[in-house]
Amino acid sequence: MNYFSSNFKLGILGGGQLGKMLLNDTRKFDIYTSVMDSSPEAPCKIACNEFHLGDLMNYDAVYNFGKDLDVVTFEIENVNTDALEDLEKKGVKVFPSSKTLRIIQNKATQKLFYLDHNIPTAEFSRFAYTTEIKDAIENGGLKLPFVWKSAQFGYDGNGVKVVRKLEDLNGLPNVECIAETMISFKNELAVIVARNSNGHVATYPVVEMEFHPEANQVEYVICPARIDSEVAKRATDVALQISKAFNHVGLLAVEMFQTQDDNILVNEVAPRPHNSGHQTIEANYTSQFEQHLRAVLNLPLGDTKNKAAGVMVNLVGAENHTGNVVYKNIETIMGMDGVTPHIYGKKQTRPFRKMGHVTIVSDSISEARKIAEEVKKAIQVISE
């Protein structure tokens, strides 16, 4: 198959920042791309060959978008899987597959998949409705504290809440959910696995994630992770075990906990480029976005090694700021060594909305982390 400067058409469902960064590489390779998103302001709009407005959860919209394309991939999990399955039956290649996506879309199903495949994960209880949890606590079937997670449609800290007392359940949506045992952990880690249709697999170095205590969003991604090589090997082995169990094609980002006794427990996975891999654009020989393309097109996978130590800082909307976005002090951070900002193209900011990220590269991980702190203090994402 000739993908380059040809009649081949790649479809991307979702037009957000992940798609926009993916399109940097489709343009580099001159691959014809068609994108669908529900927003006329989607960041992808400026960089694809065709842009379609449509609801990603609507069967007809997704099927009609994909039926004349050669390969369809996605940059967000909330996509109609029945349409993807019927596209596969029609002969359109969908990567990762509708089967993989269907399991991952629902956190309860995802957790059961881990149990079925002996993949280590935190203990959990599954509930059809949040209102059932109170009875489970009062009957002694569930102990506080725990982490409440909506089974579907959670993202970036939404759909997740730590429940320490009964009152913390107030105001939570009454939906299918899981209650997960609180894990005492040393680190939150992630490994990105790439796999093509030939079964060739490549893993990126383990990254360490530091989270915002309130927003439950990643503030810093640090690569390589500051962990023992044995722990890094364990994390990589678990990520490969999951990749094999899913038999997935494309990228799979595996988020994990390193427990106090250095065991690895899987938190959740994402079948697409991921926040924990943004630093690969500057810090690795092959970025996660190029690698995703290589994997879904069944091309040879690229070198995943680090060229330099990398730290990624998320740029999120400042509290109390809603409206037209201003990146205050961006010139200051651009004057710092090894600093590259990425602006996602969202015109409107709101508190904790992901608006961009900054990568810091250095020969030394401690130096990169120090500069990242300065970047975090300097730049503010505010409204006019």
Q: Which residue has the tokens 């004057």?
A: 335
Is 183 annotated to bind a ligand? Reply is yes
Is 227 annotated to bind a ligand? Reply is no
b/e code 197-227 from CB counts within 10 Å (16+ = b): eeeebbbbbbbbbbeeeebbbbbbbbbbbeb
* Amino acid letter for position 306: N
Is 180 annotated to bind a ligand? Reply is yes
Please name the helix (run of DSSP H) or strand (run of DSSP E) that holds residue 188, with its range, or none: strand 185-195
- Would residue 231 be called left, alpha or beta, if left means φ above 0 and alpha means ψ between -120 and 50 degrees? alpha
Q: Which residue has the tokens 């059809």?
A: 128
Is 176 annotated to bind a ligand? Reply is no
Is 331 annotated to bind a ligand? Reply is no
Is 367 annotated to bind a ligand? Reply is no
Pick from 116, 109, 117: nearest CA to 176: 109
DSSP 8-class letter at 57: T
Pick from 50, 83, 48, 44: nearest CA to 67: 83
Pairing of strands 309-316, 323-328: unpaired
Is 268 annotated to bind a ligand? Reply is yes
CA distance 68 to 136: 50
Is 384 annotated to bind a ligand? Reply is no
Please name the helix (run of DSSP H) or strand (run of DSSP E) that holds residue 251, with its range, or none: strand 250-259
For residue 213, what are its two tokens? 């205590």
Is 134 annotated to bind a ligand? Reply is no
Q: Are 204 and 191 in contact (CB under 8 A)?
A: yes
Burial of 139 (0-12, 13-18, 19+ CB in 10 A): exposed
Give the strands of the sheet with 160-163, arranged side by side. 124-127, 177-181, 146-150, 160-163
**Annotated binding residues for ATP:** 107, 149, 180-183, 188, 267-268
Which positions make up the binding site?
107, 149, 180-183, 188, 267-268
